[in-house]
C-alpha cells in the first residue's frame, strides 16, 4: 500500500484559513446538480443491471428458471451461477495485506450454488433499459433445496464465543477482580442492555458503472475506500492492478456502508465483462438492505460498583454481537470502557456469534456508538442510586491516566467539555427528581452522556504542485462522502504555503491519484493532513533552494528561517519574494513534490516504517476525541411519545480545520444518534432471517421534525501528538447520543429503557 515519510510536523501553522467556517468548495456543484455520482456516468452503449435476491437463508440452488426473464424485450443476458464467468474467490484475510479486509463477504457471487443469507444475489439481469432489467429480474425463478439455518440472534446469544483482539481493535481486558468488587460494593448496578441491528441509509444507494476496454476495467463507484477497492477488483478479476481504475469523486454519504466491496460492485463488473457492454448497477434501497451489511445488534451487560462517595470500585462491561458465516467482524463494543472511568477493578469481554445472515459491517462509530449507550446509561443509573448529579459522578471518576493500563492520554479535556456544555445548556436548571419537570402537559427530562471515539492515523500519499502563477494543486486519492475533505485540505495547504485559500485546488476521488487511506475510523483528514504538511515543508525547501540558486534576495539557508506567507517565502525580518517571482526567474512552470511512494520497494518499506511508528505511538499514547452530549426531551404522558426538544454537544476534538463543516459533521452524528435512540431498527424476521423493512418508509430515520436545534461547541485545543493537533471528528458525534436520550427519558418519566430503540411502547408499556 502506501508510504509516508516520518517528518517532523508543525503543530500550528499560524495561518488565516484553518479554523474558519469556509463554505465547502464542492457546494455549488452539488446544489446545482453538476456533481456526477457513480450512477450518472454516461456511455453511449450503456446497459442496465438488476439483481435477483434469494428469499431463503440457507440452501442450495437446484435450478434457476430464466426463460420468462429472457423473453422480456431488451434483455441482453441473465447471469446465474450456471453461466456467469468465473471469478477468483475473495482472498482470506491477511494481516500483511490489509486490503484483504475489504471484501464485504467471503462469497464468490454468482460463482456458487450455495445460498448463505436471505437476500443474497443469485442472478443478475442485464438489459437495454433499467425498466426492462427490473421487470425481467422479477421473472427469474430460482428453486432451492433449503438447509437448516440459524438466524435468530437473541435465541443464540448463549453460543457466542470470545472474540480475538488485534492491533487496531483490542479484545477484552482485565484488571483486578471486577465481579467480586461489584458483589461487595456498597452501591452497585448490574444491568442488561440490547441494541437492534441498524442499516446505514446513505442518501445515495450504492451504485456502480463498470466498463471494460480489453483487460482494462474502469469503475465508477460509490466507495469510501478507493485503494483497497481497486486492489480487490484486480484480484477478483485476475488482472494487473494498473489495469483497474476507480473513480469516485462524489459519494452520497457512506457512514461505513461503503467501506467494503459489496455484491453490486462485483456483479456490475462481472456483468460488463460477460456482455461486453458498460453496465450500470444502481442498487434499489431494498437492494442495499439485502446486499450491504449493517450494524450488528448487541446484548450488553454493564455492572458498576461504587463506594458511598461515588468512587468506582468496579467496572464490568461485556457484549455479544453477531457476524455472518460469510463475513463481518467483531465490534469493539467495550472500547470506551477502557478509557472513561478510573476503577481499580475492570473486566471487559466481547463475544460474537455466527449466524446465517449477511455480514455485519462498520457503521459510524462501530463499537462506541452502542457501547456508550450501555455504559453511559449505567453510569446515570448509578448516579441515581448514589443521589449524585450524573456529571458530578463522572467528574469524581475522571482518570488522569488510561484506567486499564496506565498509559498517558495525549490530550484529554473531558472536564472542560462538561463545564462548557453544562454552562451553555443550562444544566443547573435541572431538578434531579425524575418526573419533576413539566411544560404544560409534556413531561420534560434532561440527560447527559459522554461521547468518546479513538483517534487513528494511517499512511497517505500526497503530491503538491506550486505553479508559476502562484496557484497550488494538491493531489490525493482520498474520498469525499460529504464531509468536505477538499475544503479542509485546501485550508491546510493555504496556511502551510502562505497562499490564499482560493489559490489552492484539490484533486481527489480517483485511483490515478496518490494513494490515500479509506475514509473510515475518523482518520482521513488527519492522515492526509500529515502528508500534506510534510509535502508543504518539502515544497518550501525546494523553492528555497531554487530561489538561492537563481539569485533571489532570500539569503537564508535554513528553511526554519523562512516563512511561507503572502504568496511567497520571506525571511523572518528580512527580504523575500513571491513564489511567482522565484519560479519566473528560474524559468520553471511549476515545482512539484511528493510524499509517499505508491508502489515498489519504497511502498513496502514506507508502509512498514509507518505502521511501526503508528504502533509505537499507540503503545505510548491513548488518543481520542471526546465530549459531553446534553439533551432535553419531552414525553407525552398519555402516549409515551418522546420528542427531543433541545440538544447541545460540547466536544474536545483537537484543532478544528473548518468550523462549518466540523459542526455539520458533529451535528450529523447527533441526528443519526437520535434515530438510533428513538426510531431506527432493522427488522429481521426471526423465522427466516429476512429483513422486513428494507425501505425508508419502514425503517424510520429521523425526519426534520424529529431533530431539534442542535448547538455545537468545541474547545479547539490541539492534540500535541497529532499533525496540526487534529483529532478525527467523523464519528464522535454519534457516541453518547442514545444514552443521553435514555437518561433524559428516565429523568422525564422515571422509566428506564435499556433496549433500543426507545419506542413509545417501551416508555409506557401496556
Partner 1 sequence: MRSFAYVRPPDVAAAVRAIAAEPEAKFLGGGTNLVDLMREGIEAPATVVDVTGLPLTEVEELPGGGVRIGAAVRNAELAAHPLIRTHYPVLSQALLSGASAQLRNMATVGGNLLQRTRCPYFYDGAAACNRREPGSGCDAVGGLNRDHAVLGVSDACIATHPSDMCVALAALDAEVEVESVRGARRVPLAGFHRLPGDTPHVETDLAPDELVTAVELPPPAATTSRYRKVRDRASYAFALVSVAAALEVRDGTVAAVRLALGGVAPKPWRAHEAEHVLTGAPATEESYRRAAEAELAAAVGRPGNAFKIGLARRTIVATLRELEP
Q: How far is the CB of 686 from partner 1 (least distance, A)?
A: 8
| Residue 398 or 706 with smaller CB distance to partner 1 | 706
| Residue 659 or 683 with smaller CB distance to partner 1 | 683
Distance of alpha carbon 703 from alpha carbon 712, whole angstroms: 20
Whose grid coordinates read 417501551? Answer: 762
| Residue 584 or 764 with smaller CB distance to partner 1 | 764
Rounded to a whole number of angstroms, the CA Rg of the chain reads: 27
Contact residues for partner 1 (CB under 8 A)? 55, 131, 134-135, 138, 638-641, 643, 678-679, 683, 685, 687, 690, 692-693, 697-698, 700, 702-706, 759-761, 764-766
| Residue 135 or 221 with smaller CB distance to partner 1 | 135
Active-site residue set: 731
Q: How far is the CB of 56 from partner 1 (least distance, A)?
A: 8
Q: How far is the CB of 679 from partner 1 (least distance, A)?
A: 5
Distance of alpha carbon 17 from alpha carbon 15, whole angstroms: 6
Region at 365 (left for phi over 0; alpha for psi -120 to 50; beta for the rest): left
Beta bridge partner(s), residue 207: 282
SS3 of 205, please? coil
Distance of alpha carbon 231 from alpha carbon 92, whole angstroms: 14
Strands 173-175 and 75-80: unpaired
Q: How far is the CB of 759 from partner 1 (least distance, A)?
A: 6
Distance of alpha carbon 643 from alpha carbon 674, whole angstroms: 10
| Residue 546 or 701 with smaller CB distance to partner 1 | 701
Q: How far is the CB of 739 from partner 1 (least distance, A)?
A: 20
Strands 710-714 and 642-652: parallel
Burial 268-283 (b: 16+ CB within 10 A, else e): bbbbbbbbebbbbbbb
| Residue 230 or 290 with smaller CB distance to partner 1 | 290
| Residue 83 or 639 with smaller CB distance to partner 1 | 639
| Residue 262 or 699 with smaller CB distance to partner 1 | 699
Beta bridge partner(s), residue 624: 454
Q: What are phi and psi of 382, to 5 degrees?
A: -65, -40
Q: How far is the CB of 493 from partner 1 (least distance, A)?
A: 42
The dihedral through the CA atoms of 484, 488, 491, 497 has a sign that is negative
Helices 737-749 and 368-386 cross at an angle (nearest 10°) of 30
Distance of alpha carbon 680 from alpha carbon 629, whole angstroms: 20
Beta bridge partner(s), residue 305: 188, 314
| Residue 196 or 447 with smaller CB distance to partner 1 | 196
Distance of alpha carbon 114 from alpha carbon 91, whole angstroms: 18
| Residue 134 or 407 with smaller CB distance to partner 1 | 134
| Residue 176 or 698 with smaller CB distance to partner 1 | 698
Q: How far is the CB of 691 from partner 1 (least distance, A)?
A: 9
Q: How far is the CB of 209 from partner 1 (least distance, A)?
A: 22
Element of type H or E holding 584: helix 579-586
Counting DSSP H helices and E strands in the chain, the numbers are 17, 30
Element of type H or E holding 473: strand 472-475
Among the listed residues 663, 667, 662, 623, the one whose alpha carbon sits nearest the alpha carbon of residue 644: 667
SS3 of 537, please? helix
Q: How far is the CB of 671 from partner 1 (least distance, A)?
A: 12
Judge contact between 490 and 501, C-beta under 8 A.
Answer: yes
Whose grid coordinates read 485559500? Answer: 501
Q: How far is the CB of 766 from partner 1 (least distance, A)?
A: 5
The secondary structure of residue 466, as a DSSP letter, is E
Distance of alpha carbon 749 from alpha carbon 438, whole angstroms: 10
Beta bridge partner(s), residue 217: 212, 244
Region at 384 (left for phi over 0; alpha for psi -120 to 50; beta for the rest): alpha
Q: How far is the CB of 733 from partner 1 (least distance, A)?
A: 20
Distances (CA, A) of 544 to 36, 458, 501, 547, 582: 40, 30, 22, 5, 9
Distance of alpha carbon 687 from alpha carbon 669, whole angstroms: 33
Residue 32: Cβ within 10 Å count: 8
Whose grid coordinates read 481493535? Answer: 169
Amino acid at each position: 500500500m502506501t508510504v509516508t515519510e516520518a517528518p517532523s510536523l508543525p503543530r500550528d501553522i499560524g495561518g488565516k484559513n484553518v479554523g474558519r467556517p469556509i463554505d465547502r468548495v464542492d457546494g455549488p456543484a452539488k446544489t446545482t446538480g453538476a456533481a456526477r455520482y457513480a450512477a450518472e456516468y454516461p456511455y453511449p452503449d450503456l446497459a442496465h443491471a438488476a439483481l435477483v435476491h434469494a428469499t431463503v437463508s440457507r440452501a442450495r440452488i437446484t435450478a434457476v428458471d430464466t426463460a420468462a426473464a429472457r423473453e422480456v424485450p431488451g434483455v441482453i443476458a441473465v447471469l446465474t451461477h450456471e453461466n456467469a464467468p468465473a471469478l477468483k474467490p475473495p482472498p482470506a484475510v491477511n494481516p500483511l495485506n490489509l486490503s484483504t479486509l475489504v471484501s464485504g463477504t467471503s462469497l464468490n457471487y454468482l460463482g456458487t450454488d450455495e445460498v448463505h443469507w436471505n437476500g443474497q444475489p443469485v442472478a443478475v439481469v442485464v438489459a437495454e433499459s433499467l425498466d426492462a432489467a427490473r421487470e425481467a429480474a422479477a421473472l427469474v425463478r430460482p428453486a432451492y433445496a433449503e438447509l437448516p439455518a440459524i438466524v435468530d440472534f437473541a435465541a443464540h446469544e448463549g453460543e457466542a464465543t470470545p472474540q480475538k483482539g488485534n492491533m487496531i481493535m483490542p479484545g477484552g481486558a482485565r484488571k483486578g477482580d471486577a465481579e467480586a468488587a461489584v458483589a461487595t460494593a456498597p452501591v452497585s448496578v448490574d444491568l442488561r442492555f440490547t441494541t437492534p441491528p441498524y442499516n446505514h441509509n446513505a442518501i445515495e444507494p450504492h451504485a456502480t458503472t463498470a466498463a471494460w476496454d480489453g483487460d482494462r476495467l474502469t469503475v465508477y463507484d460509490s466507495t469510501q475506500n478507493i485503494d483497497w477497492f481497486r486492489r480487490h477488483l484486480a484480484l477478483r478479476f485476475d488482472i494487473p492492478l494498473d489495469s483497474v481504475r476507480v473513480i469516485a469523486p462524489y459519494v452520497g454519504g457512506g457512514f461505513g456502508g461503503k467501506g467494503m466491496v459489496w455484491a453490486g460492485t462485483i456483479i456490475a463488473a462481472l456483468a460488463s465483462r460477460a456482455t461486453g457492454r458498460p453496465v450500470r448497477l444502481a442498487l434499489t434501497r431494498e437492494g442495499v438492505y439485502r446486499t450491504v451489511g449493517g450494524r450488528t445488534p448487541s446484548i450488553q451487560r454493564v455492572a458498576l460498583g461504587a463506594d458511598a462517595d461515588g468512587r468506582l470500585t468496579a467496572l464490568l462491561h461485556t457484549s455479544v454481537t453477531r457476524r455472518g458465516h460469510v463475513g463481518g467482524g467483531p465490534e469493539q463494543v467495550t472500547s470506551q470502557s477502557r478509557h472513561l472511568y478510573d476503577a481499580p477493578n475492570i473486566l471487559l469481554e466481547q463475544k460474537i456469534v455466527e449466524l446465517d445472515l449477511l455480514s455485519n459491517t462498520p457503521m459510524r462509530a462501530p463499537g462506541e456508538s452502542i457501547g456508550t449507550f450501555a455504559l453511559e446509561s449505567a453510569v446515570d443509573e448509578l448516579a441515581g442510586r448514589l443521589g449524585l448529579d450524573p456529571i458530578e459522578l463522572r467528574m469524581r471518576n475522571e482518570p488522569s491516566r488510561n484506567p486499564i493500563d496506565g498509559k498517558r492520554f495525549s490530550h484529554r479535556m473531558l472536564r472542560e467539555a462538561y463545564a462548557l456544555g453544562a454552562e451553555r445548556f443550562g444544566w443547573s436548571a435541572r431538578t434531579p427528581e425524575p418526573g419533576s419537570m413539566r411544560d404544560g402537559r409534556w413531561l420534560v427530562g434532561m440527560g447527559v452522556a459522554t461521547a468518546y471515539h479513538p483517534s487513528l492515523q494511517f499512511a497517505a500519499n500526497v503530491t503538491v504542485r506550486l505553479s508559476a502563477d502562484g496557484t497550488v494543486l494538491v493531489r490525493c486519492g482520498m474520498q469525499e462522502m460529504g464531509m468536505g475533505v477538499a475544503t479542509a485540505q485546501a485550508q491546510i495547504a493555504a496556511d502551510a504555503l502562505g497562499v490564499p485559500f482560493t489559490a489552492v485546488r484539490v484533486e481527489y476521488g480517483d485511483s490515478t491519484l496518490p494513494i490515500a487511506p479509506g475514509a473510515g475510523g475518523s482518520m482521513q483528514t488527519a492522515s492526509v493532513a500529515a502528508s500534506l504538511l510534510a509535502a508543504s515543508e518539502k515544497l518550501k525547501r525546494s523553492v528555497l533552494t531554487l530561489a538561492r540558486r537563481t539569485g533571489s534576495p532570500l539569503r537564508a539557508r535554513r528553511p526554519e528561517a523562512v516563512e511561507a506567507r503572502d504568496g511567497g517565502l520571506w525571511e523572518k525580518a528580512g527580504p523575500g519574494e513571491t513564489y511567482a517571482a522565484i519560479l519566473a526567474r528560474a524559468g520553471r512552470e511549476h515545482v512539484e513534490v511528493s510524499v509517499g511512494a505508491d508502489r515498489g520497494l519504497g511502498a513496502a518499506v514506507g508502509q512498514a516504517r509507518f505502521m511501526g511508528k503508528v504502533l509505537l505511538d499507540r503503545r505510548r499514547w491513548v488518543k481520542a476525541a471526546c465530549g459531553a452530549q446534553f439533551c432535553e426531551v419531552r414525553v407525552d404522558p398519555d402516549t409515551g411519545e418522546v420528542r427531543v426538544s433541545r440538544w447541545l454537544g460540547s466536544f474536545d476534538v483537537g484543532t478544528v480545520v473548518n468550523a462549518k463543516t466540523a459542526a455539520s459533521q458533529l451535528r450529523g452524528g447527533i441526528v443519526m444518534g437520535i434515530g438510533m435512540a428513538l426510531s431506527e431498527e432493522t427488522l429481521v424476521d426471526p423465522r427466516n432471517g429476512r429483513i422486513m423493512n428494507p425501505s425508508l418508509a419502514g425503517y424510520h430515520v429521523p425526519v426534520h421534525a424529529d431533530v431539534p436545534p442542535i448547538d455545537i461547541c468545541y474547545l479547539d485545543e490541539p492534540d500535541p501528538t497529532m499533525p496540526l493537533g487534529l483529532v478525527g471528528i467523523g464519528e464522535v458525534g454519534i457516541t453518547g447520543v442514545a444514552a443521553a436520550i435514555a437518561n433524559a427519558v428516565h429523568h422525564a418519566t422515571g422509566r428506564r429503557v435499556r433496549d433500543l430503540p426507545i419506542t413509545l411502547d417501551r416508555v409506557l408499556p401496556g
